[in-house]
Amino acid sequence: MGDIDTKEKFEEKRLVLAQREWKRLTANGSKECRACHDYNQMDFDKMSIMAQMQMKNAAQLNTPCIECHKGIAHKLPEIKQQKSPELTKLIASAKNEKIGVNQVGYNVLAQPIYADSAMKERIGTLEVATAVKVLETTKDADKVELSLWRKSKGFSRVWYEKFGLNVVSAVFEKEFAQNKDNFTVMDTKEDPLTGLGWEHVKTDVWVKKGDLTSSSDGLWDVAKASFNTSCSVCHRPPAVDHFDTNTWPGIFSGMVGFTNMDNDTQKLVLKYLQFHSSDFDSDKRH
Ligand code: HEC
Ligand code: HEC
Ligand code: HEC
């Protein structure tokens, strides 16, 4: 067409070109693919279970191949990460929210955790959407209580939201996590599934003011919309409660590279999936 005369310009435009082809191959039922391998010539019994499950159904519905198979003959174009405008809006509105003493807040993005109100000594990271109770507040910082779980074995730097579930809420520096003076162990319990010991731990820490919101609903709305948009590009998005909390991270990390979600959105969407998995029935949801 005369507008692409360098490799760089080609790479820059690949996604647009690919989307145009995907549209064409959807509209014509993926005619070109089927010139070489059509549904009526497939021997389903010789396929992998995964291929059989998806493609017997697709053959019945005569679904265009391209709906599921992108990046076959050509490698997938690089997809640039994009900040979710909805998440950006939520982060901005949290700046004006006031979470009072003894109220619970959820952080709208991952942020540093400090040992002191001057926020000089960084001891870890608070992951997105973690519930914290505000204990004290100054002009710039909030002192919050973390009530979380950790595995007894190892350095136990990673603290989880709930017993037995790998939903990451905070990650501490090794020095902090190793020193028992830094937290109180409320309870210990063995996970019957893995035989691992877990500790219910509490500690008071400082975070920068302005990143907490009073309800997790807004966060889940953003996550749900992002999941439904990004994960429906190639196939119907899977039902969130089709997998359990500890299975979602593996599935998600295998797929998220196909999407244009930026890091903050990815973390939020994964947490949404974990908290709305088959481990949570609808009236006990977080
Ligand atoms: C010119 C004939 C031809 C056309 C057109 C064609 N294929 Fe293929 N395809 C093949 C052959 C031959 C193989 C086996 C290649 C091999 O084993 O190295 C193959 C392999 C595959 C595989 C399995 C290998 C892999 O990379 O996962 C998939 C999936 C596939 N094709 C999908 C498609 C889709 C989707 C289209 C249309 C966009 C398409 N094919 C168009 C001939 C064709
Ligand atoms: C609903 C989604 C879907 C549609 C539509 C679909 N496929 Fe597939 N296909 C899959 C999945 C899932 C696999 C398995 C991939 C895997 O095992 O990693 C697969 C595997 C394949 C394979 C490898 C089969 C094997 O295991 O030996 C070929 C070839 C293939 N598809 C071609 C096509 C062609 C050609 C069309 C259109 C006529 C098509 N597919 C339409 C989902 C789909
Ligand atoms: C660029 C296309 C594409 C996008 C975008 C995409 N997927 Fe997939 N997905 C596939 C293909 C192809 C398969 C089947 C082959 C495979 O397993 O690699 C699949 C399979 C799956 C499966 C079934 C695999 C299993 O282990 O049971 C799940 C669940 C899934 N995707 C979830 C997601 C989620 C969640 C997202 C959004 C983060 C997403 N997908 C985005 C192409 C995509």
Q: What is the pLDDT of residues 43-90, one digit of tens each?
A: 999 988 878 888 888 999 999 999 888 877 777 777 777 788 899 999
Long-range (24+ apart) CB contacts under 8 A made by 175-181 are 176/115, 176/123, 176/124, 177/150
In whole angstroms, give the CA distance from residue 192 to residue 187: 16
Contact 104, 146 (CB under 8 A): no
106 against 19, higher pLDDT:
106
pLDDT band at 14 (very low <50, low <70, confident <90, very high): confident
Q: Greatest CA separation found in the chain?
A: 71
161 against 77, higher pLDDT:
161
Who's near 93: CB < 8 A, 6+ residues apart?
213
The pLDDT score that the predictor gives to residue 254 is 87
Ligand 1, from 25, 33, 74: best to mutate by most atoms within 8 Å of Cβ?
A: 33
The pLDDT score that the predictor gives to residue 282 is 57
Contact 142, 136 (CB under 8 A): yes
Find the 285 Cα to ligand 3 centroid distance in Å. 25
> Which atom number of ligand 1 is nearest to the Cα of residue 25?
38
Mean pLDDT of the chain: 91
**CA-closest candidate to residue 156, choices 129, 183, 132:** 183
The pLDDT score that the predictor gives to residue 77 is 74
Amino acid at residue number 268: L
Amino acid at residue number 91: I
pLDDT band at 286 (very low <50, low <70, confident <90, very high): very low
Identify the nearest ligand to the CA of 62 by its number: 2
Is residue 284 pLDDT above 60, yes or no?
no
For the segment 169-228, what is each residue's pLDDT rounded down to a tens digit?
Answer: 999 999 999 999 999 999 999 999 888 999 999 999 999 999 999 999 999 999 999 999
Cβ 238 under 6 angstroms from ligand 3? yes
